Amino acid sequence: MEDCLFCDFDNDELLEEGKYCYARRDGYPVSEHHTLIIPKRHVASYFDLEEPELLDMHQMLVKMKARIEGWDATVSGFNVGVNAGKDAGQSIFHVHMHLMPRRKGDIDNPQGGVRGVIPSKRTYVRKTRAPLNQGGPD
């Protein structure tokens, strides 16, 4: 698609290419080695991807995770995320998956992880719940 930042994947930021997707660095990284997994087909929403694209993106995600861990021994965790829709924070309407390496101590309290998209919901106290299938509908 004309004027789509992610439809042009033949650039210096290309890290790896698969049949249906490719990986490149994020232009505004949250952390060092923040990587994007992007389908080659121009699709706005994650929910409109076809199964072969989803499978290829998952395989690329696993491959890039291993590569990042090989590049940087300080990486001790990852956040994986997709913004689907303007109200979810999507700003480029060509679906892309974020692979964000995390390191011990990169923030004071990492509890809640991706829940931090709504800052007041990031930290929480776990409530005691009844065991599954106890007192609720089947």
**HSE-up of 99 (CA within 13 Å, CB side)?**
23
Find the DSSP H helices in 28-127. 51-71
Pairing of strands 21-25, 35-39: antiparallel
Question: Which residue in 42, 58, 94, 96 is the catalytic one?
Answer: 96
Place of tokens 């989803």: 54
Which residues are registered as beta bridge partners of 80?
A: 99
In the residue annotation, 96 being an active-site residue is answered as: yes
Contact yes or no for 102/78 (Cβ under 8 A) = yes
Contact yes or no for 107/119 (Cβ under 8 A) = no
Q: Which residues are catalytic?
A: 96
